Amino acid sequence: MNKIIVIGNGDVGSSYSFALMAQGLGSDVGIIDLDANKVAGDVQDLTHGLAYVGPKNIYSADYSDCFKADLVVITAGAAQKDNETRLDLVKRNAKIMKSIVESVMANGFNGIFLIASNPVDVLTHYVMKLTGFPPNKVIGSGTSLDSARLRSAVGEKFQIDPRDVNIYILGEHGDTQFPVWSHGNIGGLKITEWLAQHPEFSQEELVELSEKVKNAAYEIINYKGSTHYGIAIALARITQAILQDENAVLPVSVHLDGQYGSRDVCIGSNAVLNREGVREIIETPLDEEENKQMQHSIQTLKNMQQLVMEDEF
Ligand code: NAD
């Protein structure tokens, strides 16, 4: 049995549950949210699809259901209020996270945490500290969504299946993230080799795409209030890698222990994921400019982490 508890059933959480259904992931999916009616409605609605995807136990859960869960996925969070600074929001979401994690732990949970709530890197680090779990068991969605967005955008530009576009965005899931062009490849060709064979495209156009990706969330939120399908699919992919013991390489938020010259910070890096969670972190040798960007991202996150820890510990 693969038991998943989803905490937070808003746009992201409910889209994730739908992705689990559609992809046949998890045999037992419990949903928790402050809004019990929305959970009850979604549970019924999702259950109505089972005739077409096969059996699964989907239910309104409570925290006692976290006992023996394989995965607890946290997507609960508050949205920014008018006149609220980003830092106020961080502190408010850290408080929500603390109450959730304490309830999960009080029920003997010993599986893997997957965090999506923002700021995801800071909250992943916070959950690690709150639980005392080893770093392999606390994973943030990190730059999995950003990397997917860039791969899709580059794939669309070059008319290549995005699954064959291997370019990763690393660093903060936020403004200091950066694409690692130096290791990007399409069908085994380095990006520079690809561009040399396709002179109708330029490096500048790729840089524009990565800037557009960085701002994609703002653009989508402007259109419809939240982004949720992309992250739901990214979370489902991470879930699959873990539950199916895949040893898949994905860019997620992980706790550095000397990689990129840094310790005790959670940040988007490639990592090998399997049933144990993070099997190992892959440290990508960065060029000079990329390394500067990574160090800037690390420092930004460390500053934010410290503010959360000062307040809450
Ligand atoms: P939303 O407002 O639609 O949903 C949030 C849900 O959390 C609500 O249903 C609310 O009732 C619930 N909630 C709040 N406090 C709770 C608590 N203490 N216990 C249980 N449930 C609680 O928001 P959303 O659009 O679903 O976004 C959720 C989070 O995901 C936000 O922090 C958002 O920034 C983040 N997000 C992350 C990524 C990523 O790439 N990591 C992408 C998109 C959104």
The annotation status of 118 as a binding-site residue, yes or no, is: yes
Task: Give the DSSP H or E segment for 144.
Answer: helix 144-158
Token digits for 179? 């694409």
The annotation status of 227 as a binding-site residue, yes or no, is: yes
pLDDT for res 25: 96
Percent of the chain whose predicted confidence (pLDDT) is above 70:
98
pLDDT for res 79: 72
The pLDDT of 256-278, averaged and rounded, is 98
- The closest of 30, 51, 38, 37 to 11, measured between CA atoms, is 38
Residues 6 or more apart in contact with residue 306 via CB below 8 angstroms: none
Q: Which residue's C-alpha comes closest to atom 39 of ligand 1?
A: 116
pLDDT for res 26: 96
pTM: 0.97
Point out the ligand 1 atom lying closest to the alpha carbon of residue 77.
32
Q: With the C-alpha atoms ordered 297, 125, 86, 9, is the resulting torsion angle positive or negative?
A: positive
Distance (Å, whole) CA 215 – CA 220: 9
In the CATH scheme, what is the code of domain 3-140? 3.40.50.720
What are the start and end residues of each CATH 3.90.110.10 domain in the chain?
143-310
The pLDDT of 145-157, averaged and rounded, is 96
Which residues have C-beta atoms less than 6 Å from ligand 1?
Answer: 7-13, 32-35, 75-77, 79, 96, 99-100, 116-118, 120, 141, 145, 173, 226-228, 231
Name the β-bridge partners of 263: 257
* Residue 279's pLDDT band (cuts 50, 70, 90): very high
Write down the mean pLDDT value for the chain: 95
Residues 6 or more apart in contact with residue 194 via CB below 8 angstroms: 158, 185, 186
Q: Which residue's C-alpha comes closest to atom 9 of ligand 1?
A: 10
What are the start and end residues of each CATH 3.40.50.720 domain in the chain?
3-140
**Is the predicted pLDDT of residue 312 greater than 90, yes or no?**
no
Percent of the chain whose predicted confidence (pLDDT) is above 90:
87
pLDDT for res 218: 85
The pLDDT of 275-291, averaged and rounded, is 98
Q: Which residue has the higher pLDDT, 312 or 255?
A: 255
The helix-helix angle for 288-312 and 86-106 (nearest 10°) equals 70
In the CATH scheme, what is the code of domain 143-310? 3.90.110.10
Token digits for 158? 């070059």
The pLDDT of 249-273, averaged and rounded, is 98
Tell me the pLDDT tens digit for each residue of 205-230.
999 999 998 888 888 988 998 899 99
Least confidently predicted of 121-135, 163-177, 277-291, 297-311: 297-311
- What is the whole-number distance in angstroms between the Cα of residue 46 and the centre of ligand 1? 19
- What is the whole-number distance in angstroms between the Cα of residue 230 and the centre of ligand 1? 14
Is the separation of the CB atoms in 63 and 104 below 8 Å?
yes
Catalytic positions, written as ranges: 173
Tell me the pLDDT tens digit for each residue of 85-107.
767 788 889 999 999 999 999 99
The pLDDT of 281-305, averaged and rounded, is 97
- What is the whole-number distance in angstroms between the Cα of residue 79 and the centre of ligand 1? 7
Q: Which residue's C-alpha comes closest to atom 29 of ligand 1?
A: 117
